[in-house]
Amino acid sequence: AKTRHYTFNIRYQNVTRLCHTVKVLTVNRRLPGPPLVAREGDRVLIKVINHVAENVTIHWHGVRQLRTGWADGPAYVTQCPIQTGQAYTYNFTLKGQMGTLLWHAHISWLRATIHGPIIILPRRNESYPFEKPHREVPIVFGEWFNVDPESVIQQALQTGGGPNVSDAYTINGLPGLLYNCSSNDTFKLKVKPGKTYLLRLINAALNDELFFSIANHSLTVVDADASYVKPFQTDVVLLSPGQTSNVLLKTNPNFTNATFFMAARPYATGQGTFDNSTTVGILHYGHSSTPIPATGIPSLLPNLPAINDTNFVFNFSRKLRSLANAKFPAKVPQTVDKKFFLTVGLGTAPCPNNATCQGSNGTKFAASINNVSFALPSTALLQAYFSRRANGVYRTDFPARPIFPFNYTGTPPNNTFVSNSTSLVVLPFNASVEVVLQGTSILGAESHPLHLHGFNFYIVGEGFGNFDPNKDPANFNLVDPVERNTAGVPAGGWVAFRFFADNPGVWFMHCHLDVHTSWGLRMAWIVLDGPKPNQKLPPPPADLPKC
């Protein structure tokens, strides 16, 4: 194993898309940012230098950070932000994970433009549990705003209403030729006939789950969130923000001179306005750059499910199974020490004094878990926990069950009371934990991709309607459930996952739709140290930023 050094310079860069030039925040002046490439077992040191006026942190999404919680990155959870002119070196080892993840800014909405791939290759002399690809290609999905994304979320929080949607979806930073002014801003992938390509798909969009497909080609899914799955073929892949997946693309041996479209478009249900536009890229065979007939584009597009096709999404997620073989076993907790039943959803909260709120009936939008809308403190939770100075920073009374039991589906309940607090859950070291996330559908059935920091979990069950604690556990898959770090709570349904709390620290869990996180759909877990020296969280590094 090696040690790899990276420097990430946070700077402004003028970027033009859709004929709008916007001064955006970037890493090393790139959009998307540079890939972090390492082998399993490597130590990685990334020095992040902040040259801009905004406070910044970077999160290595999906990296387990075993006993390196200080390098996890969510602002006010594991660290205070890196301020103007300051630097912080993230220092961690990639243990037991292979595949694709992503890094992104973890403060306010800065990840709109501060994000990039994490590529974890197998150790030297190790190979993939599938055919060796001819080439590997990262494909990063994002969103482009014609204005500063920070102004969008700041305005939404001030008015208590919903934010404006982005102006385009992008593939590797490019909107594609279906958007205005974008005929030259189209991602192109040149391929040879009869070869296998490994596409490393990353959904770095702020607020949209996306369908992805390539016309006339099927894809073989081999991995999800840097965990191998039993390979399966599909025409369409669904990725929630924060999710990643490796897929194999076999090119047709008979195509020598041909052009096909790849496309991504959102999956969305529930309230609010959604942009249902399509980002496209081009797959070119050979040296051809066959001109695209402007009138023929619709017929060249792949078929994507309808924007609200929840059945497709549910069936797709049920196809994902851990590889679960001797070399890559599934270590699913078979018994449970701690059970949590958490309702996740949108609701409304009273409009603060002196504000004019644009949510329904003059209230403001709020999002919550068990009716608690999580408030971030002004100092870092992990620092407060480590120095045993919780007083005033956080409480440890987060409810393991909802405060108001009601039927979460069907008629919207009228009790949408939401309280603001910084309340955490404490887990003993190595507890086996089961979490059922139940969508509340108060403002309409909407899917929520929940992301847990510091762990992978096994998705043991999911369903529509209300979770039934007497019936549903009998159908849990405890053999080969998919292992992920981000799970979609089905629109109008529930998902159950299990994990071992084997990583001491403070770990954030939140909806990876940034607007929901901003509205409070977030919480944090404290995992206590274990008795042995190698089960304890070491002290913070000397350069950890101060608030």
Contacts to ligand C2O by CB under 6 A: 59, 61, 74, 104, 106, 242, 451, 453, 508, 510, 512
Task: Tell me whether residue 321 or residue 453 sits nearer to ligand C2O (CB atom).
Answer: 453
d(CA 269, CA 266): 10
Task: Tell me whether residue 102 or residue 249 sits nearer to ligand C2O (CB atom).
Answer: 102
Q: Report the nearest approach of ligand C2O to the CB of residue 275 (Å).
A: 21
Peptide bond between residue 175 and the one before it cis (omega within 30 degrees of 0): no
How many CB atoms lie under 10 A from the CB of residue 138? 20
Where do runs of H (alpha helix) occur along 390-446?
none
Q: Report the nearest approach of ligand C2O to the CB of residue 464 (Å).
A: 26
Task: Tell me whether residue 321 or residue 448 sits nearer to ligand C2O (CB atom).
Answer: 448
d(CA 135, CA 198): 6
Task: Tell me whether residue 484 or residue 510 sits nearer to ligand C2O (CB atom).
Answer: 510
Q: Report the nearest approach of ligand C2O to the CB of residue 515 (Å).
A: 14
Task: Tell me whether residue 106 or residue 516 sits nearer to ligand C2O (CB atom).
Answer: 106
Task: Tell me whether residue 177 or residue 511 sits nearer to ligand C2O (CB atom).
Answer: 511
| In the complex, residue closest to ligand C2O by CB | 61
Q: Report the nearest approach of ligand C2O to the CB of residue 72 (Å).
A: 9
- Strand order in 3-17's β-sheet? 20-27, 3-17, 43-50, 87-93
Task: Tell me whether residue 156 or residue 511 sits nearer to ligand C2O (CB atom).
Answer: 511
Q: Report the nearest approach of ligand C2O to the CB of residue 65 (Å).
A: 12
Q: Report the nearest approach of ligand C2O to the CB of residue 451 (Å).
A: 5
Strand intervals (E) in 411-476: 419-421, 424-427, 432-439, 448-452, 457-464
Task: Tell me whether residue 17 or residue 59 sits nearer to ligand C2O (CB atom).
Answer: 59
Q: Report the nearest approach of ligand C2O to the CB of residue 477 (Å).
A: 25
Task: Tell me whether residue 265 or residue 512 sits nearer to ligand C2O (CB atom).
Answer: 512
Task: Tell me whether residue 105 or residue 427 sits nearer to ligand C2O (CB atom).
Answer: 105
Q: Report the nearest approach of ligand C2O to the CB of residue 58 (Å).
A: 10
Total count of residues recorded for the chain? 547
Helix/strand/coil percentages in the chain, nearest 5 = 10, 40, 50
Up-side HSE of residue 404: CA atoms within 13 Å toward CB? 16
Strand intervals (E) in 36-86: 36-39, 43-50, 58-61
How many CB atoms lie under 10 A from the CB of residue 457? 27
Task: Tell me whether residue 64 or residue 512 sits nearer to ligand C2O (CB atom).
Answer: 512
Q: Report the nearest approach of ligand C2O to the CB of residue 459 (Å).
A: 17
Rounded to 5 degrees, φ, ψ at 69 are: -55, -25
For 244, the enclosing helix (H) or strand (E) is strand 244-250
Name the token pair of 44: 């990685």
Q: Report the nearest approach of ligand C2O to the CB of residue 509 (Å).
A: 8
Q: Are 59 and 18 in contact (CB under 8 A)?
A: no
Question: Nearest 10 degrees: CA dihedral of 344, 508, 107, 208?
Answer: -40
DSSP lists the bridge partners of residue 532 as none
Residues 6+ apart with CB under 8 A from 512: 240, 241, 242, 449, 450, 451, 486
Q: Report the nearest approach of ligand C2O to the CB of residue 197 (Å).
A: 26
SS (H, E, C) 93-146: ECCCCCEEEEEEECCCCHHHCCEEEEEEECCCCCCCCCCCCCEEEEEEEEEECC
